[in-house]
Amino acid sequence: MTERIRVLLVDDHAIVREGYRRLLETRPDLAVVGEAASAREALEQFKALAPDVMVLDLGLPDMGGVELIRRLLQRDGAARILVFTMHREPLFATQALRAGALGYVTKSSPPDELLKAVYQVAARRQVISPDIAPELALALIDRPREPLAELAPREFEILRLLLDGLGPEEIGTRLSISAKTVQNCHYQIKSKLGVRSDIELTRLALRLGLI
């Protein structure tokens, strides 16, 4: 009997996870061994279950998916992570892949694309859903013209939280870093992006489709 691929689902919506579970378990060689609704639960479940593949949504309530990917890879460099998200912007895919994800599939993809991607990531092969692959390729070619691509994954995560209206203390709590570190990163982000104020930063983020 073929050994089953053990999958951990990470999404903050229970009804969405149930849909993924039912889809994945239509295949006899796929088994959903756990679920998590937050990044902290995902870290605990990953440690306890050692899944073959983690299927991860980027929009989590306590910590962004990009930061979670970075932490998981720090803990286990062999972790196989498939991002399954609503974000179709190449910027999010670029940051997730730079952080260490092996796959990136959008939720607008047909169900078969998710199934195929799980098998690809389990085999340690990189996969991008067809609906964003051309845009991502163009974004990578044009990277010198894309200032946000210069940000490190953690800087990108801090920027995302700043744009959500969170202050240094709350961001520090979510990311388990000090408020001072957040403030320093905030300064570095503005410096890298060539903006002088938070208003300019917000305008740039709007122009580039980050918010």
Domain residue limits, the chain:
5-140, 146-207
User: Which residue type occupies 95?
Assistant: Q
Higher pLDDT, 89 or 67: 67
Average pLDDT over residues 104-123: 94
Confidence of residue 156 (pLDDT cuts 50, 70, 90): confident
Q: pLDDT band for 2, please (50, 70, 90 cuts).
A: low
| Equal CATH topology for 5-140 and 146-207 | no
Convert the pLDDT of each residue in 159-191 to its tens digit. 888 888 889 999 988 888 899 999 999 989 898
Q: What global pTM score does this model have?
A: 0.76
The type of residue at 129 is: S
Percent of all residues in the chain with a pLDDT value above 70, rounded to a whole number: 90
Which CATH entry fits the domain spanning 146-207: 3.30.365.10, 1.20.1050.10, 1.20.1260.10, 1.10.10.10? 1.10.10.10
Task: Write the burial class of residue 31 (CB in 10 Å: 0-12 exposed, 13-18 middle, 19+ buried).
Answer: middle
Cα(173)–Cα(170) distance, rounded to whole angstroms?
5
Which residues, in sequence order, are CB contacts of 35 under 8 Å at separation 6+? 8, 9, 10, 11, 17, 21, 45
47 C-beta neighbours (distance < 10 Å), count: 11
CA-only gyration radius of the chain, Å: 17
Fold type of domain 5-140: Rossmann fold (3.40.50)
Residues 28-39 pLDDT 10s: 999 999 999 999
